[in-house]
């Protein structure tokens, strides 16, 4: 592999950053209100900037929402049955999940968090492999290179820098790769969020930072995280465009994220997209959301559900009927059944694997410790 | 590949090289050999690094191969993780030991764990170069011995060369290593000069690609300690900046009629129990020397390992000469803190040479 010569900097001759600062700021500020293409009632809202995605894309997105909702419900049920240790649900955020995966091309990369199981599945990763982490059999359960999906990140915002690195490497290697990096509203308070956006802008690399603002970081509401006009406004501080979008509107998400991905692919550099959504359930099953928010707060978001509005819109256009939706639900049920069966089967993890991947080859010290455990295991069998 | 193992070389291939220049040459040679090797950090571009270890690399390889980053160590480390995930072999410089702390979460939670959490699917062949330790009269936050933090973290390989030849060889090995390496460069050695046979040092890297079959070569420095000076009465075990002090102590002891063997650990992780214990079993006594505060330190680990393995060969408890358990002192006080020849010799005297 040869790295092509060329300047890596945003301000270089090769960079596409506008040299005249005439009105860079205007192009970086987000829309006055979150972009919405289909409102909560299922009616199309015109946008001068973002055309409505075509019917097939919307129908495919709806199928993704149906599947995503079923996966969330199934995983929650499996936690109650003790088959999953924990599940941070994206119930109510499925439009963000589906759109994040749908806007990427095959060679692109997705950097998800622990709450983004549905996005990872929608990208094509086997749900049983995705749930390995939460089941407790191992950490990352899938091969990141199979679908270019990084392991789900638990330490907040750290994965955003890895996304910048993957994009930087792709740029050095002359590859036309776009990276979509996900995080939540709480993670925007982390130092790595700042460093990742700044590095991405300075090195002018193709990363779309996608913040799902679901209003809560476990128990702490957004107002205690940031008093910025919006999280999307942070983009201008790094010299990249920011946009905000209705996070329960799959059509708007496809349009806004799709435009950011396309812009990045064409050499336009990074962008920040903030989706306004809501965490309909507790942080995880171990959390008690009634201690910090009321049922009334949650109830306000029920009419804004991402499935309801897209169903209404597609039905009104004659693109969706009960029969078609039943077929989607049946397909989703097949996935749920596969998850159920897979998780109801006890897998006994191989204890000696504890020593197999820490290093490329075991150190002498690990060999000794592996021998100790092997001896214990053999004696336990006697 | 070690100094002691080298065959006598023809006079004209020997050059006088500083420790810093050896590191610089290793970087240049490896960047020339492998176009995926990329160097970045703070002030490592046109300036060539505050210690000039990257001198001339941007000019020679272009600013896409050796470049300055924004001033943010977690950013440097996290970006290196992503680049290593995608076909690049990053070498990053943390400007000073204590300036690496903002990158600690990336190092501990991601660099060290990525292979394990992905069952070896994602390897991170990257090198974290850290100018470390004291003895240069540096102001606060510039002289920490931070090796214990890294050595305590499973998944990291931790190296600390003590000779000019090892600086060259071990850095090239580190860059070719399949796992992430924390490469500790003793600052006080940067300006030391030695005559080395550069052609002989380069030879093992010419045609071979060490570690490609995922097993360190038998002759590799990584994982192997060396006998820096042979002796019969007691063993001084040291690494990095303490090796030269240990050698001076052995020299002084020889004048007093006591023969001290000096082991240069070189590779803190993986640790070479075999070489260290062979020496201690031979001499029957040992002192471990390290600049870092001694409590819960690499020196403590070495003492534990030696006594676990060599108990019946020992004529005395294994002792330590380490930094005191205090923050690294101000320049005018550091000589009280650092392990010196006298403190080492005093400690050797304590090794119960006669029954009391």
Q: Which of B82, B83, B159 to mutate to test the interface with A (most CBs of A within 10 A)?
A: B82
Active site residue A379: no
3-class secondary structure, B130: strand
Q: What is the pLDDT of residue A103?
A: 98
What distance in Å separates residue A151's CA from the closest CA in chain B?
A: 8
Residue ranges per domain, chain B?
14-206, 226-349
A241 and A313 co-located in one domain:
yes
Q: Which of B26, B40, B109, B45 is nearest to B72 (CA)?
A: B40
**Would A15 be classed as within a structural domain?**
no
What are the backbone angles phi and psi of residue A305, rounded to the nearest 5°? -55, 135
Lowest-confidence segment of A94-108, A125-139, B153-167 by average pLDDT: A125-139
A365 vs A346, higher pLDDT = A365
Residues A334 and A370 placed together within one structural domain of the fold: no
* Domain at B14-206: CATH architecture: 3-Layer(aba) Sandwich (3.40)
Contact A356 B87 (CB under 8 A): no
Instruction: Tell if the CB–CB gap between B116 and A358 is shorter than 8 Å.
Output: yes
Residue A24 pLDDT = 79
Rounded Cα–Cα distance for residues A90 and A281 (Å): 8
Q: How long a stretch of residues is chain A?
A: 382
Per-residue pLDDT band at A14 (split at 50, 70, 90): very low
Distance CA A201, CA A197 (A): 6
CB contact under 8 A, A364 and B86: no
The question of whether B142 is a catalytic residue gets the answer yes
Contact yes or no for A111/B79 (Cβ under 8 A): no
Q: How confident is the model at residue A345 (pLDDT cuts 50, 70, 90)?
A: confident
> Who contacts A2 (Cβ-Cβ below 8 Å, separation ≥6)?
B35
With 60 as the cut, is the pLDDT of residue A336 above it?
A: yes
How many other C-beta atoms are found inside a 10 Å radius of the C-beta of residue B313? 15
Q: Note whether B14-206 and B226-349 share their fold.
A: yes
Residues of chain A neighbouring B216 (CB-CB closer than 8 A):
361
Closest CA to A102 of A248, A212, A255, A213: A255
Contact at 8 Å (CB) between B66 and B45?
A: yes
**Given this model, what pLDDT does residue B217 score?**
53
Which residues lie closer than 8 Å to A196 by C-beta, 6 or more apart?
A157, A160, A161, A163, A164, A181, A207, A209, B75, B78
Q: What angle do CA A226, A228, A232 make, to 5 degrees?
A: 105
A338 and A194 within one domain: yes
**In chain B, which residues have their Cβ closer than 8 Å to the Cβ of A150?**
85
Supply the range of the domain harboring residue A58: 27-349
What is the pLDDT at residue B222?
97
What are the angstrom distances between the C-alpha of A228 and each of A33, A181, A225?
14, 21, 9
Token digits of residue A355: 């020593």
Q: Is residue A11 part of a domain?
A: no
- The enclosing domain of A170 has a CATH number of 3.40.50.970
Same domain? A290 vs A377: no
For residue A207, the model assigns a pLDDT of 98
Asked whether residue A6 carries a pLDDT value surpassing 70, the answer given is no
Region for B15 from its dihedrals, namely left if φ exceeds 0, alpha if ψ lies in -120 to 50, beta otherwise: beta
Has residue A14 been placed in a domain? no
Question: Using the beta-carbon criterion (under 8 Å), do A7 and B64 form an inter-chain contact?
Answer: yes
Q: What is the DSSP string of B257-301?
A: T--EEEEE--EEES--HHHHHHHHHHHS-EEEEEEEESTTSHHHH
pLDDT tens for each residue of chain B, 356 residues long = 344 445 555 556 799 999 999 999 999 999 999 999 999 999 999 999 999 999 999 999 999 999 999 999 999 999 999 999 999 999 999 999 999 999 999 999 999 999 999 999 999 999 999 999 999 999 999 999 999 999 999 999 999 999 999 999 999 999 999 999 999 999 999 999 999 999 999 999 987 655 554 444 557 999 999 999 999 999 999 999 999 999 999 999 999 999 999 999 999 999 999 999 999 999 999 999 999 999 999 999 999 999 999 999 999 999 999 999 999 999 999 999 999 999 999 999 999 898 66
The reported pLDDT for the residue numbered B266 is: 98
Separation CA B22–CA A121 (nearest Å): 49
SS3 sequence, B40-108?
EECCCCCCCCCCCCCCCHHHHHCCCCEEECCCCHHHHHHHHHHHHHCCCEEEEECCCHHHHHHHHHHHH
| Residue in B with minimal Cα distance to A159 | B78
pLDDT tens column, A15-68: 445 555 557 788 899 999 999 999 999 999 999 999 999 999 999 999 999 999
> What CATH number matches the domain at B226-349, 3.20.20.140, 3.40.50.920, 3.40.50.800, 3.30.43.10?
3.40.50.920
Same domain, yes or no: A162 and A296: yes
Residue of B57, B86, B92, B214 to mutate, interface with A, max A Cβ within 10 Å: B86
Q: Are residues A248 and A380 in the same domain?
A: no
CB contact under 8 A, B82 and A202: no
Q: What are all long-range contacts of A292-298, with beta carbons under 8 Å and residues at least 24 apart?
A: A292/A216, A292/A219, A292/A220, A292/A221, A293/A216, A293/A221
Which residues are registered as beta bridge partners of B234? B260
Alpha-carbon span A108 to A113, nearest angstrom: 17
In chain A, what percentage of residues exceed pLDDT 70?
A: 94
The Cα of B205 is separated from the nearest Cα of chain A by a number of Å equal to 19
Q: What is the rounded CA–CA span in Å between residue B115 and residue A358?
A: 6
CB A179 within 8 A of CB A206: yes
Cross-chain residue pair A195–B116, CB shorter than 8 Å: no
Q: State whether the Cα torsion B66-B68-B70-B75 is positive or negative.
A: positive
pLDDT at A381: 83
Task: Kindly list the distances between the CA atom of residue A174 and the CA atoms of A77, A177, B244, B314, in Å, as whole numbers in the listed order.
Answer: 46, 9, 46, 60
Does residue A74 share a domain with residue A104? yes
Q: How far is Cα B8 from Cα B1, in angstroms, rounded to an integer?
A: 13
Q: If you compute the radius of gyration of chain B from its CA atoms, what whole number of angstroms results?
A: 20
Residue of A nearest to B125 (CA): A360
Choose among B74, B155, B178: nearest Cβ to A161: B74
Catalytic choice (B110, B141, B142, B152): B142
Q: How far is it, in rounded angstroms, from Cα A5 to Cα A291? A: 57
Per DSSP, the residues of B231-250 read -SSEEEEE-TTHHHHHHHHH
- Residues of B within 8 A of A1 (CB-CB) are 35-36, 87
Interface test with B, best of A140, A145, A357, A365 (most B CBs within 10 A): A357
Same domain, A369 and A325: no
| Pair (A242, A316) in one structural domain | yes
Cβ contact A151–B117 (<8 Å): yes
Per DSSP bridges, beta strands B319-323 and B286-293 are parallel
Determine, for residues A198 and B215 on separate chains, whether the beta-carbon distance falls below 8 Å: no
Which of A255, A262, A213, A264 lies closest to A234 in space, CA to CA? Answer: A213
Strand boundaries in B294-346, DSSP class E: 319-323
The confidence score (pLDDT) of residue A2 equals 47
Q: How many CB atoms lie within 10 A of CB A320?
A: 21
Per CB-CB distance under 8 Å, the chain B contacts of A204 are none
Let me know if residue A3 belongs to a domain: no
d(CA B141, CA B134) in angstroms, rounded, equals 10
Mean pLDDT of A326-347: 94
Residues A313, A323, single domain; the answer is yes
Give the count of domains, chain A.
2
Q: Give, as one character, the DSSP assignment of residue A140.
A: -
What's the confidence (pLDDT) of residue A4? Answer: 46
CB pairs under 8 A between A and B: 165
What is the C-alpha separation between A185 and A166, in angstroms, rounded?
Answer: 23
Could you give the C-alpha distances from B266 to B63, B115, B184, B289, B318, in angstroms and in order?
Answer: 32, 24, 10, 13, 20
In a domain, A33, yes or no: yes
pLDDT reading at A286 higher than 90: no
Alpha carbon of A58: minimum distance to chain B alpha carbons (Å): 33
What does DSSP assign to residue A113?
A: B
Distance (Å) from the C-alpha of residue A349 to the closest C-alpha of chain B? 12
Q: Are residues A367 and A226 in the same domain?
A: no
Rounded Cα distance between A166 and A177, Å, is 9
Is residue A32, in this structure, part of any structural domain at all? yes
Report the C-alpha gap between B225 and B270 in whole angstroms: 10
Q: Confirm whether A338 is domain-assigned.
A: yes
Contact A363 B270 (CB under 8 A): yes
| Contacts with B155 from chain A: Cβ below 8 Å | 358-359
State what percent of residues in chain A have pLDDT above 90. 88
d(CA B94, CA B73): 7
Which one is catalytic: A276, A283, A304, A309? A283
Q: Are residues A150 and A271 in the same domain?
A: yes
Nearest by CB to A164, from B64, B79, B157: name it.
B79
CA distance linking residue B88 with residue B84, whole number of Å:
5
Q: What is the pLDDT of residues A192-225, one digit of tens each?
A: 999 999 999 999 999 999 999 999 999 999 999 9
- The full length of chain B comes to 356
CA distances B2 to A46, B17, B182, Å, are 72, 16, 20
Q: How far apart, in whole angstroms, are the C-alpha atoms of residue B298 and residue B158?
A: 11
CB nearest B85 (choices: A166, A199, A357): A166
């Amino acid at each position: 592999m040869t790295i092509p010569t060329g300047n890596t900097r945003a301000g270089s001759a090769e960079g596409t950053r506008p040299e005249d600062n005439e009105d860079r700021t205007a192009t970086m500020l987000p829309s006055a209100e979150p972009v919405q293409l289909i409102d909560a009632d299922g009616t199309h809202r015109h946008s001068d900037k973002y055309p409505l995605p075509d019917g097939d894309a919307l129908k495919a997105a709806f199928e993704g929402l149906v599947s995503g909702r079923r996966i969330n419900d199934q995983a929650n049920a499996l936690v109650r049955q003790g088959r999953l240790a924990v599940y941070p649900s994206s119930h109510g955020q499925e439009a963000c999940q589906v759109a994040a995966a749908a806007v990427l091309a095959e060679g692109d990369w997705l950097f998800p968090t622990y709450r983004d199981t549905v996005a990872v599945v929608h990208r094509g990763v086997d749900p049983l492999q995705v749930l390995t982490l939460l089941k407790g059999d191992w950490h990352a359960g899938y091969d990141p290179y199979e679908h270019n999906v990084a392991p789900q990140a638990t330490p907040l915002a750290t994965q955003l820098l890895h996304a910048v690195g993957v994009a930087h490497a792709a740029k050095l290697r002359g590859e036309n790769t776009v990276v979509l990096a996900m995080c939540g509203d709480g993670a925007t308070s982390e130092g790595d969020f700042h460093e990742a956006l700044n590095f991405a802008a300075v090195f002018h690399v193709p990363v779309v930072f996608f913040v799902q603002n679901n209003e809560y970081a476990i128990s702490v509401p957004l107002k205690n995280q940031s008093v910025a006009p919006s999280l999307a406004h942070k983009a201008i501080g790094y010299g990249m465009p920011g946009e905000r979008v209705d996070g329960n509107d799959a059509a708007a998400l496809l349009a806004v994220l799709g435009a950011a991905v396309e812009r990045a692919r064409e050499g336009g550099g990074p962008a920040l997209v903030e989706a306004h959504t809501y965490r309909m359930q507790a942080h995880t099953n171990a959390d008690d959301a009634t201690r910090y928010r009321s049922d009334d707060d949650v109830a306000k978001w029920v009419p804004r559900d991402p499935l309801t509005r897209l169903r209404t819109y597609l039905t009104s256009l004659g693109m969706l009927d009960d029969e078609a939706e039943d077929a989607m639900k049946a397909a989703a049920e097949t996935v749920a059944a596969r998850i159920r069966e897979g998780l109801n089967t006890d897998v006994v993890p191989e204890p000696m694997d504890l020593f197999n991947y820490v290093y490329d080859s075991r150190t002498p010290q690990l060999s000794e410790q592996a021998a100790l455990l092997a001896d214990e295991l053999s004696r336990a069998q006697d | 590949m070690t100094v002691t193992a080298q065959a006598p070389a023809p006079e004209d291939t020997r050059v006088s090289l500083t420790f810093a220049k050896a590191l610089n040459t290793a970087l240049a040679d490896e960047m020339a050999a492998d176009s995926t090797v990329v160097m970045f950090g703070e002030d490592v571009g046109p300036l060539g690094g505050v210690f000039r270890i990257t001198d001339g690399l941007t000019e020679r390889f272009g600013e896409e191969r050796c470049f300055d980053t924004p001033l943010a160590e977690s950013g440097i480390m996290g970006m290196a993780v992503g680049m290593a995930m995608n076909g690049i072999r990053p070498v990053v410089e943390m400007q000073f030991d204590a300036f690496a702390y903002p990158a600690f979460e990336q190092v501990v939670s991601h660099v060290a764990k990525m292979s394990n959490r992905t069952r070896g699917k994602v390897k991170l062949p990257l090198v974290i170069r850290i100018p470390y330790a004291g003895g240069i009269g540096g102001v606060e936050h510039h002289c920490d011995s931070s090796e214990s933090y890294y050595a305590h973290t499973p998944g990291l390989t931790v190296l600390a060369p003590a000779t000019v030849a090892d600086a060259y060889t071990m850095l090239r090995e580190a860059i070719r290593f399949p796992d992430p390496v924390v490469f500790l460069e003793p600052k006080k050695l940067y300006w030391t000069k030695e005559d080395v046979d550069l052609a002989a040092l380069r030879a093992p890297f010419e045609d071979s690609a060490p570690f490609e079959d995922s097993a360190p070569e038998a002759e590799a420095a990584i994982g192997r300690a060396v006998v820096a000076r042979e002796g019969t009465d007691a063993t001084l075990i040291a690494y990095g900046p303490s090796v030269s002090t240990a050698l001076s102590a052995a020299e002084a002891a020889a004048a007093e009629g006591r023969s001290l063997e000096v082991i240069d650990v070189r590779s803190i992780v993986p640790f070479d129990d075999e070489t260290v214990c062979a020496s201690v079993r031979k001499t029957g006594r040992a002192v471990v020397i390290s600049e870092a505060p001694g409590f819960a330190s690499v020196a403590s680990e070495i003492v534990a390992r030696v006594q676990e393995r060599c108990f019946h060969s020992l004529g005395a408890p294994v002792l330590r000469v380490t930094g005191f358990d205090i923050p690294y002192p101000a320049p005018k006080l550091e000589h009280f803190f650092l392990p010196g020849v006298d403190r080492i010799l005093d400690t050797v005297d304590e090794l119960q040479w006669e029954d009391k």
